[in-house]
């Protein structure tokens, strides 16, 4: 049985994701597609627009056979740590090949580039310290440096999907895995496209979220860039955004001492003074991040920092949580997925969590906390994210 792994967020699930699932299965010849999906808070530091259960259901409706949750400790992270959690999870599940969307490059390009990078990592780090420009973000600085000094790396690492794909490839090389890579070239829209073209079949998730939050007019549109079941989920859910958590974030910052803020995960030295000073006059998340942003700290990095302030997570705590994967959280499966789960269950090195009980409550405690925080956006409409929830089962 050939097994293909996919790393995803599905925020929300759209036609581009549907295309990628179909292409991954076709190009790899896989019998089973295993998706490692972020839970309710995502890699860029944002809350998911709808909860993890609805997004897992959509994936199963359109080609996934098993959906697993990337633990929250790894899901809201820079590319390398995000990749560490996702790849470790999929490796534990016994995948043969990893498939992901990319702006350019074949699977071999990613693996070769990752190998070159790891061989020259110390040299690259030294050059980075010497040549980085303060006005540029880390990603742009690194892309510029590699283009200049390491021409063997032919990938455009200023592109977001390529950045993540490169991180996955590095993690596979570090582990000396035999897992192959099969890329699916991105179609139509660019990752950061802000607008949806008329009658466009595939649009970026960024453009889709902008449309969803701008007004309710999209509900009457007969030609949307996502499947009908996604439309139904979106129509019947509160659409979650950072502003839903901003009052809690503001309270946390205003009532936390500078000393305590300085120990928050991802907090730059001395940056707590800026955070503390600017929160007072901010009326919403956009105002706060706009005031907070510097040339060196990207919007994404600041969103992640705000997430960890909201969760009151210290550097010491997060270092422990990101040491390794301790459990596999199953969100859903279909008949093919169930067959594969039965086949490998005895071989799994860590617990497979299908529901939350007293036996595993401590094991998944951080994810439970993250789920409860997510519900603060609207406790009347958002169901419990962990207690009394069983994996979605598709016939």
Binding site membership for ATP: which residues?
7-20, 101, 161, 186
SS3 263: coil
**Sign (positive or negative) of CA dihedral 358, 362, 367, 372:** positive
d(CA 240, CA 355): 25
d(CA 158, CA 144): 8
Q: List, as one string, the DSSP characters of 68-126.
A: EEEPHHHHSS-HHHHHHHHHHHHHHTT-SEEEEEESS--HHHHHHHHHHHHHTHHHHHH
Which residue reads 């000393």 in tokens?
Answer: 259
Which residue reads 């070159």 in tokens?
Answer: 116
Residue ranges of the annotated binding site are 7-20, 101, 161, 186
Going by their DSSP bridges, the two strands 97-102 and 32-38 should be labelled as unpaired
Residues in the chain: 395
d(CA 31, CA 94): 13
Which H or E element spans position 60? helix 52-61
DSSP state of 345: G
Q: Is 14 in contact with 61 (CB distance < 8 Å)?
A: no
Paired tokens of 228: 């009908």
**Sign (positive or negative) of CA dihedral 63, 32, 97, 8:** positive
Going by their DSSP bridges, the two strands 66-70 and 328-333 should be labelled as antiparallel
Say how many C-beta atoms besides its own lie within 10 A of residue 393's C-beta.
12
């Amino acid at each position: 049985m050939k097994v293909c792994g996919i790393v995803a967020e599905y925020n929300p699930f759209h036609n581009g994701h549907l295309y990628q699932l179909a292409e991954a299965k076709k190009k790899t010849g896989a019998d089973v597609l295993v998706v490692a999906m972020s839970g309710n808070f995502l890699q860029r530091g944002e809350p998911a627009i709808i909860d993890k259960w609805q997004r897992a259901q959509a994936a199963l409706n359109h080609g996934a056979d098993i959906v697993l949750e990337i633990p929250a400790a790894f899901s809201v992270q820079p590319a390398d740590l995000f990749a560490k959690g996702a790849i470790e999870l999929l490796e534990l599940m016994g995948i043969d090949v990893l498939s992901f969307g990319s702006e350019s490059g074949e699977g071999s390009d990613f693996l070769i580039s990752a190998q070159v990078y790891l061989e020259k990592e110390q040299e690259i780090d030294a050059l980075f310290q010497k040549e980085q420009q303060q006005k540029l973000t880390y990603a742009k600085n690194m892309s510029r440096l590699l283009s200049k000094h390491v021409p063997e790396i032919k990938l455009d690492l200023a592109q977001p999907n390529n950045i993540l794909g490169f991180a996955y490839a590095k993690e596979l090389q570090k582990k000396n895995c035999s897992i192959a890579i099969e890329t699916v070239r991105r179609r139509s829209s660019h990752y950061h496209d802000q607008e949806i073209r008329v009658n466009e079949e595939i649009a970026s998730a960024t453009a889709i979220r902008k449309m969803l939050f701008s007004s309710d007019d999209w509900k009457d549109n007969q030609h949307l860039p996502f499947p009908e079941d996604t439309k139904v989920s979106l129509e019947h859910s509160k659409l979650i955004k950072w502003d839903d958590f901003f009052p809690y974030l503001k309270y946390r910052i205003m009532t936390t001492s500078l000393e305590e803020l300085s120990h928050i995960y991802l907090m730059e030295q001395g940056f707590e003074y800026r955070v503390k000073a600017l929160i007072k006059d901010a009326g919403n998340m956009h105002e706060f991040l706009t005031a907070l942003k510097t040339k060196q700290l990207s919007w994404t990095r600041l969103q992640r920092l705000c997430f960890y302030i909201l969760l009151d997570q210290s550097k010491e705590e997060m270092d422990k949580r990101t040491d390794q994967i301790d459990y596999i959280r199953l969100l859903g499966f279909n008949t093919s997925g169930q067959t594969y789960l039965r086949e490998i269950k005895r071989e799994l090195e860590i617990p497979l969590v299908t529901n939350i009980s007293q036996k595993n409550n401590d094991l998944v405690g951080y994810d439970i906390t993250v789920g409860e925080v997510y519900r603060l956006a609207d406790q009347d409409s958002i169901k419990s994210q962990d207690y009394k929830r069983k994996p979605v089962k598709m016939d």
